[in-house]
Chain A
């Protein structure tokens, strides 16, 4: 079945460590997105990519980095520069920008 897979479902990070969240899609979508969701809040856009080897900063890109070397994959690295990384991270994809987005099941990141 086609869809978006995020892994792991739960992730723990020690202070000062970088961690990478995986997002893979087999929908043949060009555009991919990363969002952060905090309790009781909506979605905030971190980074998005409309095509392979290209990506743009969203509203809260500081402390995060991404790459888009393959159409199917859009990993997100949470760096040690992100001072408050505890949140629920959601990855999405769409045929192209502005079209309906399909979401993965999310990764919950916590600090040890």
Chain B
């Protein structure tokens, strides 16, 4: 069945790069998404990548897609304390999205 997996925690030092990884199962997904959730709030769409692309860059964010391995990653350059949040990846599944369990990113000084 459909399943999206992420590691639960990531801790980085301020100014370093963060890499959050995700594996998905549905090879027919047309888009893959990254969302950010701050404490007590809803999810905010960060970026997305079309399935025929390998990479997408948007300011400090870089998304890499390896379709063969069904692996998606989000790289945040120059990570700041304001980047501390939970990050969800999601794949499309016909009429809905399937979300991963989320990765909690903690940034320390």
Q: Which of B36-44, B52-60, B69-77 lies on the face that meets chain A?
A: B36-44
Residues of A within 8 A of B97 (CB): 98, 101
The answer to whether B48 and A42 have CB atoms under 8 Å apart is: no
Contact of A45 among B30, B40, B96 (CB under 8 A): B96
Contact, CB under 8 Å: B96 / A48: yes
Chain B neighbourhood of A105, CB < 8 A: 41-42
A100 touches B96 (CB 8 A): no
User: Do the beta carbons of A102 and B99 come within 8 Å of each other?
Assistant: no
Interface centre among A31, A42, A99 (most CB of B within 10 A): A42
Known A-B contacts A31-B95, A42-B99, A42-B101; the reply to A98 vs B42 at CB < 8 A is: no
- Whether A43 lies near B30 (C-beta < 8 A) is no
Most buried by B among A41, A45, A102, A103: A103
Flag whether A25 is at the interface (Cβ < 8 A): no
A63 at the binding interface (Cβ < 8 Å): no
Q: Are B96 and A102 in contact (CB under 8 A)?
A: no
In the complex, A102 Cα to B35 Cα: how many Å? 10
Docked CA distance A112–B95 (Å): 36
Nearest CB of A to B44, in Å: 7
Let me know if B99 and A43 touch, CB within 8 A.
yes
Given A102-B45, A103-B44, A106-B42, check contact A97 B95 (CB 8 Å): yes
C-alpha spacing A97/B96, complex, angstroms: 5
**A100 and B45 contacting across the interface, CB-CB below 8 Å:** yes
Question: How far is B97's CA from A30's CA once the two chains are assembled, in angstroms?
Answer: 15
Task: For the complex, give the distance between the alpha carbons of A99 and B92 in Å.
Answer: 8
- Given A41-B101, A42-B102, A98-B93, the answer on whether A90 and B30 have CB atoms closer than 8 Å is no
Interchain CB contact under 8 A, B94 and A97: yes
Q: In chain A, what residue has the closest Cβ to B4?
A: A42
Instruction: Give the chain B neighbours of A92 by CB distance below 8 A.
Output: 42-43
Residues of B within 8 A of A106 (CB): 40-42
Residues of A participating in the B interface, judged by any CB pair closer than 8 Å: 4, 6, 31, 33, 40-43, 45, 48, 50, 58, 90, 92, 97-106, 108
**B interface with A by C-beta (< 8 Å):** 8, 30-31, 33, 35, 40-45, 48, 88, 92-97, 99-102
